[in-house]
Amino acid sequence: MGVVRRQSIKRTTVSYLGVLIGTISVLKIYPLAFEIYGMSQFIISSATLIMPFASIGISRLTVRYFPEFKNEETKNHGFLGFLLMLSLLFFLIFGLFLFLFKDAFFALLAALDMKKEAFWENRGVIMVVSLALIISSILGQYASNFKRIVVPEIFNNLLIKIALPILVLLFYFGYIAENEFRYLYALSFLLAILGLAGYLIYLGQFNVRLDFSFLKKPLVKEMMVYSAFNALSIIGYLLSFRIDNIMITSFMDYDNTGHYSFFAYIVNVIVIPYMSMIAIASPIISQGLRDADLASIQKLYRQSSETLFIVGLYIVGGVWLCMDPLLEITGKSDLLSPLKYTFLILAAGQLFNITTGLTEPIIGYSKYYRFNLYTMTGLALMNIIMNFYFIPKFGILGAALATAVSLVVYNFIQCVFIYDRFGMLPVSHTHVKVLFFASMAYFAANLFYLDVNPVLQILIRGSIFSLIFLPMIIYFKVSPEVDRLWRDIKTRVML
């Protein structure tokens, strides 16, 4: 796991720089204009939901079929150009289809009691952002085939984290109007595409000249079938885990979407190491499955789960300990404190998600990829039904509950399937030890409550939790990966 650990740490570092910027934004900037922030989250959620319909899952081919095209002499047979051409073609077809049947689409929204006005007034921006997300996803995943995941993270994540709070401030102080906010927000995603293309040119891997002689009919047909199944699986995933912002806006308003996004953003801190692991491990899993090297995949599966569980529990425990003073810093604690269990519910679901490790790429890049579609279809229906029931009844807490339950059910089913087909399990006795140590650290730190300013309270509680939890993990050598990382840190400090 050497290359996985190194690249994951670098990408996670970049991601947490984005978190630092985002945290300042969430605490001090977004509360200034929750409505405009909620609108931005509605736009990105809608654009993300459109992606699989508009691209038919083309981006999933980037890693899965790269081993088939890999050839330095032919510049990988123009694989990147093939992917970009297909994505643009399918997006144009989708756009034409949506234009021709827009009345039926809005009738469907009305039948579901969803606010079609929100979609209509943001339609252009949503389409532009969706296309930008499709292309940037392909470029970023293509770079991962060459073990390059750090710079793509800068353009796909950090750039947006910088742009959004700047735009919110410009809106708040009256320098830009609502429409200008929309257009500039879309522009930030287009700039990410330019950055990624420039990076691939720098690597000498931006070759879009197609090698039609290599594109034999059986291979193209196989790729299209794989792409279509994955598109349907992605649609199910988005309906299960990303429709919450859209439904909150539709049933409630932009303000409530902003409140929900506030807590969801904090929860996403847990997911950052997981996404880094997925980004670097996916090409390795794809190659391992092609070579039938299940032993290496099992080792990666188990070790990633242990590492992610340690990191996840550390983050959840630390944030929940400091939640009250954290909300005080926003200046909106009266508004947000009654909703703080939104974080805990979402965090529980995401913790289970990252603990199951690499289940999704193991199934997705194997011959059993169709299984993702079957599970996602059922989960999408379940999640939509739960949102329809829970949001009117419990507000944003209901949306959080629906998402958390969906995450747990989905990952549990995937774990059972992988064990049945490959004989692999992500969990071990290590997870029990980590849970015990985290519980001890949490209850010990929770005893310390001082009536001081919120920042000092966060520092005191967070430090106590860290000084108990982390040394126990290191001393008892709970995880080989954490142990190696600790030895590397000691070596560098001594030098």
What does the pLDDT look like over 290-332, one tens digit per residue? 888 888 888 888 988 999 999 999 999 999 999 989 888 888 8
pLDDT of residue 168: 94
Question: 55 in helix, strand or coil?
Answer: helix
- Choose from 4-13, 75-84, 454-463 the range with maximum mean pLDDT: 454-463
CB 308 within 8 A of CB 357: yes
Pick the closest to residue 118 from 266, 303, 249 (CA basis): 249
- Choose from 15-19, 36-40, 99-103, 255-259 the range with maximum mean pLDDT: 36-40
The tokens describing 98, both together, are 């949506």
The mean pLDDT of 340-351, rounded to a whole number, is: 94
pLDDT of residue 200: 92
Q: Is the pLDDT of residue 237 over 80?
A: no
Higher pLDDT, 395 or 53: 395
pLDDT of residue 95: 87
Element (H, E) at 407: helix 396-422
Higher pLDDT, 270 or 487: 270
Calculate the alpha carbon distances from 130 to 31, 66, 104, 398, 425 in Å: 26, 24, 21, 27, 36
* 406 vs 418: CA distance, rounded Å: 18
Higher pLDDT, 70 or 124: 124
Report the Cα–Cα distance between both ends of the chain, in Å, rounded. Answer: 24
**pLDDT digit string (tens) for 458-482?**
899 999 999 999 999 988 888 877 7
Pick the closest to residue 147 from 312, 40, 283 (CA basis): 283
CA atoms within 13 A on the CB side of 4: 25
CB 234 within 8 A of CB 60: yes
pLDDT of residue 438: 93
pLDDT of residue 449: 72
pLDDT of residue 113: 54
For the chain, give the percent of residues with pLDDT over 90: 27
pLDDT of residue 10: 78
The mean pLDDT of 440-452, rounded to a whole number, is: 84
The mean pLDDT of 384-397, rounded to a whole number, is: 90
pLDDT band at 229 (very low <50, low <70, confident <90, very high): confident
255-264, 365-374, 480-489: lowest mean pLDDT where?
480-489
CB 199 within 8 A of CB 174: no
pLDDT of residue 292: 84
pLDDT band at 453 (very low <50, low <70, confident <90, very high): confident
